[in-house]
Structure 1
Amino acid sequence: MPDGSISDVMEKPKSRRNRPRAEDRIRIACRRCNSKKVKCDAAPGVPCSGCQIAQVDCTLIDSKRGRTFYAGDSFSLTYAIHDVLAPFLSERLNYQKRLHFPIADGFDPSDIGRENIVNGQVTLLRERNILHRLSPDALEKMLDVYFRWFHLAFPVVSQQNFLQKCLRNQMSLLVLNALLLVAATICDPADIALTGCESRQHARAVFYAQAKALYDADLDPDKVNNVTAVFLMSFWWSGSNDEKDSWHWLGIAVSLAQSLGMHRSTAKSHMSDEKSKLWRRIWWCIRIRDTLTSGSIGRPQHISHMDCDVEMLESSDMANENLLGGEEEMYACQMARLSIIFSRVVSSRYAAVESASPSQKAQLESDLENFRLQVPAVLQYKGVHGETGRGLWSAMLLMAYNFGVILLYRPTSARGDTNASNFWGDRPKAMAAANEVTRVMEDILSSSLVRLCQIHTIPALFNSLSMHVFSLCTSGTIGRELAENRARTCMLGLTCLQESWPVSGWILKLFVDIIERLRQVNFFDLLEVPNYDTIDGRSY
C-alpha cells in the first residue's frame, strides 16, 4: 500500500454537526421520519433536516435495522410465516420468501455505546494484567501491513469503517487484537520492535491472549465482530499440542456465521447493499479457509455445499477497499471459485465412505483445467517482482491450484496399485504440479517475499515434497538427482516460512525425520539435511 494510505483513511472525521455518518443514519431514526416512512439523517445530538424545516422536536428512537435474525428453512416459525400466514396476510401476489429478519441490536450502537464497550474491554484486560496497546505509529504500521498483504486475501472487515473506528476509540479490541495477531505474523522483522514485544512469536502470543480473553468473557455483543475475530484467530498456532488450534477456531467461526445465516443468500432480505457485500465476503473467506484447511490436515470440511446458496464473490464486492489494481481485486474472487472445485476434490476422493466414480474424477479434471484457462490475464503467473510484490497474488493462486491438482492426482502407492478400481492416481500430472509449485517457490525465495506468503503455501510445499520423495523412491539416477534438488528448494521454502507460520517448522521436522529414515535404507545419500531441532531459538 502506498505510503500514507492508512493515514489518509484515518484522517480526522468532519464535524458531525455538518454531516452525520452514514452508519448513524442507517441505525437511528426520529419519530417523525419513522411515522412518515421517510429517510432520516438524524444523529445523536443532531436533529434531522426534516424536523429542522418543520421546526419540531426531533426525538430519536431505536432502529431495528442493526442486527439480523436468521430463520432456516426447516424452522417451524419459517413454515408458519411463509407457508401458513403469508398467503392470507400478504397484500402482494408475488410474495417472496426470506430467511433474514431485522431485529434490535441488543446493545447501544451509537458512538458512546461503542466507546463504552471498548472501555469495558480495556478494564477486563487491565484487571487480568494482559493489556498491551500499541503506540499510534506502531498501530498505523501494523495496520498498513495487514491491509496491504492480508486483507486482499481475506477481506473480512470494511477497511475504511475499521480505520475510522480505530481513530474514534470505537473499534472492538476483540477484532483489533485478532487482526494484529495476523499482522504480527507477516510483518517485517524490524516492525516487531515497534510492538514492544521481544520476538514475532511473543507478539503473536500477546495479541492472541488478549483476543481470547475478550472472546471467552463474551465482551463484544456484536455478533459479526465475533465471527470476524474468531476467523482471524484461526490463524493462531503455537504447537501440535494446542487444545484450541486453528481447526478449533475455524469451526467456531463457521458455527457463528451459520447462526447468523451468512451461508444463505441475502438477496431477498432487505439488507443494505454494503452489509450484504460484507457478509458475502466474510462467508466466502470462511469457506475458502475451511476448504484449504480440510485438504491440508485431512479433516472433514465444516461446510457442506448443499447448505449454501450465497452468490459467488465478485470484484464489485471489493469496492471501497482501497485495492491497488486488478490482481488485488480479483484474487479473492478467483480463490472463491477455486474453493468450490477444491472442496469437491476433497469430498470425492478422501471421503470416509467411497462413492466417487471415474466420471466424477473426469469432471473434476475438466473443472480444474477450465478454471486455469479462465483465470484473468492479470492473475496469470509471470513471476514475482521483489520490490513491488507484483505477481505475488498470482503466485498464491497458482500454489492453491496446484495443491488441488496434487490432491486429485497423487498416486496411492510407490510400489504400484493392483486394485483396478483405484482410478485416482496420475503420477505425471501430480509430478508436473509439484514441479510447478517448486519453481514458483524458487521465484518467491529469490524475491525475498516468503514471509508474505499465504498459509496455504505450506501444504502446497509439503504435498510437493511428498511427490519428490515418491520420485526419489521410484526413479533412476537422473530422476533422483532432479528430485533431490527440488526437495531442497521446498525444504528451504518451509525453513523461511516457519518464522511467520510456526506450523511450517513442525511440518519440516516431520519431513526431516522421513529423510533420515530413508537415509538408513540407502535412499538419496547425497541429500544433506540440516539440524532443524532448534529453529529461531525454539524447539519443534
Structure 2
Amino acid sequence: MATSLALTPPPLDLDPLELSILERRGTFGLPPRQISDHLVNVFFSLIAPTLPVVDQDDFMRAYHGSGCDLSLLLLQAIYTIASRSFGGHGDLEDPDLTPRAFYKEAKALYDAGYEQNPTAILQAVVLLSVYWDGPDDLRESGIFYWSHIGIALAQTQGLHTTERYSLLDPADKGLLKRIWWTLYTRDRSVAAAFGRPAHINLADCTVEPLTEEDFVHSGSAQQTHARYFLQYIKLCQIMDLGPCVNLASRAAGPRPRRDVEAARCELKLHEWLASCPMEFLWRPAAHSFWAAMLQSVFHTIVCQLHLSQKQSSRSS
C-alpha cells in the first residue's frame, strides 16, 4: 500500500487536463511507507551533505504531518536521487520504484506547474540536476537541462545579490544562500566533468560567502557536513583561477597568459592542501568518506590542470 502523507494540494488554476494526465500516469501514487522512510533517510545521510538545499528539520516535520504540507515535487525529486543509492531492497526491482520512474514523475509535476512555492521548485530542480542515466545522457532534459534551469530561476529570484537576503530571518537566509552556492558548485563540477563553459560568473554576483552559521538551522546532524561543503566551495573557486573550466583560455589567448593562469591555479591548490583541516585530509590509514570526496575533487582539478598544460604545449 502506498504511503499516506499530507501533500500540497494542486493549484486552483491548474489545467484540469494537466491534472487528469498526472492522475492517470500515477504521479500521486507514492511508494510504501517503509520504502519512503528509507529513501528519505538515505537522502539526508548520504546526499544532503553534498547538496545542502533542504532543511532537514522543516522537511521531517512536514513529512510526519506536524508542519505545513509537504511538496510533492520536492519529495519525488528526493526519491529520484536517493533511489540511486538505495540498494539492498528487492522492492526497488519494481519498475515503478526505479530512479527513472521517480524522475518521470518529478519532471511531469514540474512541467505541469504543479508546485507553486518558488523555493520548493528551486530545491527540486537542484536535486534533479544530479540525475542522469549515464555518460550518454546528454539529451535536452538531461543533466545540463536542470542545472541551467536552476541557475536561471535563482537569478530571477535575485539569489546572486546581497539585497535579496537583507530582510530575511537567519533560517531563510541560510537556506537560500545554501541553494545558491550549491548551484555554483554544480555549475563548476558539471563544467569540469564535461568540458563545457560555466554559466555563473562570480564577478556578477554580490551574494555573501557561505559560512557555518548558514547551516545552523539546516537540521544537519553534525557540523562536519557544513565544514565539508565550505571546503568543497573553495575547491570549486580554484577551478575559476586556471584553465580547469575556463575553456576560452584553453582555446585562445597568448600562451604566457595561459601559463600564468595555470601557475596561479597550482599555487591555490597547494595553499588549499596546506590549510585544509586535518579531518578532511584523506589518509589510507585513517579513511574518511568526506575527506575522500574532497580529495577526489582536488585530484580532478590537478588532472585537468596537467591536461590543459599538455594541450597548450602541443599547440605552441
Shorter-chain TM-score above 0.5: yes
Q: Give the aligned partner of residue 226 of structure 1.
A: 121
The two structures have a TM-score, normalised by structure 1, of 0.51
Q: Which structure's CA Rg is the greater one?
A: 1
Q: Give the aligned partner of residue 185 of structure 1.
A: 84
Greater RCO (CA < 8 Å, at least 6 residues apart) = 2
Tell me if structure 2 keeps the 8 A contact 1:335–1:397.
yes
Tell me if structure 2 keeps the 8 A contact 1:384–1:395.
no
Matches within 5 A, 1:35-434: 115-117=8-10, 125-168=22-65, 170-187=69-86, 189-191=87-89, 193-195=90-92, 197-198=94-95, 203-238=98-133, 240=136, 242-266=139-163, 269-345=166-242, 346-348=244-246, 350-351=248-249, 352-354=251-253, 356-383=257-284, 391-410=288-307, 417=313
The one-letter code sitting in structure 2 at the alignment partner of 1:203 is: T
The alpha carbon displacement at 1:226 in A equals: 1.2
Call closer, same or farther: CA 1:133–1:291 in 2, change over 3 Å: same
The one-letter code sitting in structure 1 at the alignment partner of 2:106 is: A
Tell me if structure 1 keeps the 8 A contact 2:11–2:116.
no
Call closer, same or farther: CA 1:377–1:324 in 2, change over 3 Å: farther
Structure 1 stretches of 4+ moved >6 Å: 118-123
Call closer, same or farther: CA 1:159–1:357 in 2, change over 3 Å: same
The one-letter code sitting in structure 1 at the alignment partner of 2:74 is: V
Call closer, same or farther: CA 1:374–1:122 in 2, change over 3 Å: farther
Structure with the higher fraction of residues in helix conformation:
2
Question: What is the alpha-carbon distance in structure 1 between the residues aligned to residue 285 and residue 56 of structure 2?
Answer: 26
Tell me if structure 2 keeps the 8 A contact 1:177–1:207.
yes
Tell me if structure 1 keeps the 8 A contact 2:241–2:261.
no
Tell me if structure 2 keeps the 8 A contact 1:265–1:310.
yes
Matches within 5 A, 1:495-510: none
- CA displacement, residues 151-209 of structure 1 (integer Å, 9 cap, x when unaligned): 0111111111111112227111111111111100112x213x3457249xx61011101
The alpha carbon displacement at 1:411 in A equals: 6.1
Q: Give the percent of matched residue pairs that are identical in Structure 1 and Structure 2.
A: 24
Q: Tell me, what secondary structure is at the counterpart of 2:123? A: helix
Call closer, same or farther: CA 1:217–1:379 in 2, change over 3 Å: same
Question: What is the alpha-carbon distance in structure 1 between the residues aligned to residue 155 and residue 120 of structure 2?
Answer: 14
What is the number of residues matched between the two proteins? 299
Q: Tell me, what secondary structure is at the counterpart of 1:236? A: coil
Structural RMSD (CA): 2.9
Question: What is the alpha-carbon distance in structure 2 between the residues aligned to residue 133 and residue 315 of structure 1?
Answer: 35
The two structures have a TM-score, normalised by structure 2, of 0.84
